[in-house]
Amino acid sequence: MSASQDPATLYPDIAAEGSLAAALQAVADRDGLPVPFTVSEAAPLRVASVTSAASRRTVLTISAWAVERRWSIRGCESFQDMALVKGDTDELAPIVRAAHAWHIGEELTAIREVAPFVHLTGRFEVTDNDPALLTESEWQHLLTEAGEVDWPAYHALIEAAYAEPALRRLYPFTSHWTLRFSTTTRPRLTVVRLCLAAHGQAPYTVSDNMMGEGRAEAATAAEAVSIAASRLPSGLGPVTLGAE
């Protein structure tokens, strides 16, 4: 494993500017993009951020890698603090374009258009923190993620679970690639005793918890989902906000 390097050594041009924020600001000024970057007091050479005019977004955070010359971005929705956009690149100019689009409140797809390195997580911005829409947003994230990993069995499991109305109406989340459910949204989940998992060569499994209690096996994703739906407790109401 590569060791972390002194940021002044790995990023001498950033050090010369005094901070990552200052270096990004110089590129923004050069390119005529009005976007104010904020310096990180804790890690000025490694971290910078920019606010957004969209009230449902947090700041966009730009972070320098520790072992090679590269930067990552992450921008979240404000209620659950879950990522809407992320990505990494070894150039500052596309980061500035993405930051400008985030700052002025451009649509997520428009941010991707001006900065192709940006990855859309599948989540979407939800007006008034509607719990049903937050639930659908999280499902769309899981479907997007499942379609991007090289794991057909997992992809099939997520699609089959989404196709089952009894499961789709619950708020989904994953832990160690195990699909789980809640009757409240983040940030405070109310977890249902139900776990669905895909495996390499083994069958799908359905269990009551991460310890494997009540384990059942299924040959297909559809069969696993059917077992899971039959185990749902009765009387589960609509998903509500998991407020702090």
Convert the pLDDT of each residue in 140-157 to its tens digit: 999 999 999 999 999 999
Backbone angles phi, psi at 205, to 5 degrees: -130, 150
- Helices marked H in the chain — which ranges? 7-10, 12-17, 20-30, 92-103, 108-114, 131-148, 152-163, 165-168, 221-231
pLDDT at 161: 98
- 126 contacts 55 by C-beta, under 8 angstroms: no
Q: Are residues 107 and 145 in the same domain?
A: no
Q: Are residues 238 and 164 in the same domain?
A: yes
Residue closest to 154 by CA, chosen among 164, 162, 145, 146: 146
**168 within a domain of the structure (yes/no):** yes
State which of 97, 120, 143 marks the end of a domain.
120
Q: Are residues 59 and 108 in the same domain?
A: yes
Tokens 């999280």, located at residue: 138
**208 within a domain of the structure (yes/no):** yes
State which of 120, 153, 174 marks the end of a domain.
120
Beta strands 57-64 and 47-50 are antiparallel
For the purposes of burial, counting CB atoms within 10 Å of the CB of 238, is it exposed (0-12), middle (13-18) or buried (19 or more)? exposed
**178 within a domain of the structure (yes/no):** yes
pLDDT at 2: 63
Q: Are residues 11 and 116 in the same domain?
A: yes
Predicted TM-score of the model (pTM): 0.93
Q: Are residues 45 and 141 in the same domain?
A: no
Backbone angles phi, psi at 39, to 5 degrees: -80, 145
For the chain, what's the residue count? 244
Q: Which domain holds residue 20?
A: 7-120
Q: Are residues 134 and 229 in the same domain?
A: yes
Question: Into how many domains does the chain fold?
Answer: 2
Q: Are residues 136 and 186 in the same domain?
A: yes
Convert the pLDDT of each residue in 162-217 to its tens digit: 999 999 999 999 999 999 999 999 999 999 999 999 998 779 999 999 999 999 99
Q: Are residues 223 and 144 in the same domain?
A: yes
**26 within a domain of the structure (yes/no):** yes
What average pLDDT score do residues 218-228 get? 97
Per-residue pLDDT at 244 exceeds 70:
no
State which of 93, 120, 147 marks the end of a domain.
120
Beta strands 178-182 and 171-175 are antiparallel
Q: Are residues 133 and 236 in the same domain?
A: yes
Rounded to an integer, what distance in angstroms lies between the CA atom of residue 53 and that of residue 71?
Answer: 23
**2 within a domain of the structure (yes/no):** no
